[in-house]
A and B are shown apart, each in its own frame.
Chain A
Amino acid sequence: MKQLKGISLSQLDFTPEHLGDLLYQEGPVLAHFVNMDNPAKHYLYRWTDMDDTSNRWLVIKLSEKQLFEYLSRQTSLLQLVQSASFVYFLDLDGDLQAKQISLTAVADIPVDYLPGSNSYFEEKQFESYAAELRNRLKYKIPFDLALQKALGELLKEYGKVEAAV
């Protein structure tokens, strides 16, 4: 496997919870995780490389909006990676134990490790979990935005009342 530039981490700075696979071919190729401590933080694990003992995964952190845009074919996997400032590389051994974790600037990702320019979501080829996730996000994102707006307005009104008192 290629030597990686970046900072070596002793552990990930989130608690990964595997929710489903987006692309599967005799094993996961692209998998969806969230941070167990903050499920609004999403992560895509994309299989990248292997040697005799380990599989290397490129891990990218996404907002719900970014994930929805990817699953709606508005952005490609390559664009998601390129729009991040850094990614994780996670080397897992046969027992799924982390052997190495690197925090790598996007500019330092080896060219061979980048997805192709045509790495768009394809509903027909991806697992049904992917479309189900997109449909969940489709309704959740506007609801969350409306909730945030309502909360903001409520706090503003509360501020006015406080000032008047």
Chain B
Amino acid sequence: MKAPAFRWVFDHMNDTRNFLPVYFQNPQRFLGKREAEICLAMGLSMFDSLENAEIRFQVMFDNIGKAAYQRFGTKIATAELTESDGVCSLLDANGHFTNYPLENHDYETRFVPVQQL
């Protein structure tokens, strides 16, 4: 089974922030945090459609302005995810889900930018 996934990414696809869950960017930051929060931080935020990825980014832009590009990315990229791409949470009402990728995933080469944010 395959399903399209959309994720915000930075200008260059080899940018380490694109597919490294926030927990692994700085595990120290999560010392003393609740387990649920740590678990969430080990996943990658994704959307089921281009439109939902755009809508969500607009919410971020409305609230934090241009800094949204600095924190979240500048483009939307897409790839087909399969059952072998780790574990995914259920979709929420905004078409958002969290993907918990395998350690040696190849998202950098599979995700393709499709739209500028």
Kindly state the separation between the CA atoms of A96 and B97 in the bound complex, as whole angstroms: 27
> CB-nearest residue of chain A relative to B32?
A96
- In the complex, identify which listed stretch (B64-72, B74-82, B83-91, B104-112) lies at the interface while the others stay far away: B64-72
Encoded as 1 (CB less than 8 Å from any B CB) or 0, chain A from 116 to 133 comes to: 101110101100000000
List of B residues within 8 angstroms of A95 by Cβ: 28-29, 31
Are A27 and B59 in contact (CB-based, < 8 A)? no
Q: A26-B45, A47-B64 are in contact. Are A94 and B59 (CB under 8 A)?
A: no
List of A residues within 8 angstroms of B62 by Cβ: 115-116, 118-120
Are B56 and A112 in contact (CB-based, < 8 A)? no
List of A residues within 8 angstroms of B67 by Cβ: 47-50, 112-113
Are B63 and A46 in contact (CB-based, < 8 A)? yes
Interface size on B, residues (CB 8 A): 24
Residue from A94, A112, A119 in contact with B63 in the complex, judged by beta carbons closer than 8 Å:
A119
> CB-nearest residue of chain A relative to B55?
A125
List of B residues within 8 angstroms of A112 by Cβ: 65-67
List of B residues within 8 angstroms of A27 by Cβ: 22, 41
List of A residues within 8 angstroms of B26 by Cβ: 94
Kindly state the separation between the CA atoms of A119 and B59 in the bound complex, as whole angstroms: 8
Encoded as 1 (CB less than 8 Å from any B CB) or 0, chain A from 45 to 68 comes to: 011111000000000000000000
Q: Is B50 an interface residue, CB under 8 A from the partner?
A: no
Q: Is A29 an interface residue, CB under 8 A from the partner?
A: yes
> With contacts A115-B63, A124-B93 known, what are 12 further pairs, Cβ within 8 A?
A25-B45, A29-B63, A46-B64, A47-B64, A48-B67, A95-B29, A112-B66, A113-B65, A116-B61, A116-B62, A116-B63, A125-B94
Q: List 12 A-B contacts (CB under 8 A).
A: A25-B56, A25-B60, A29-B63, A46-B63, A47-B67, A49-B67, A95-B31, A112-B66, A113-B67, A114-B65, A115-B63, A116-B65
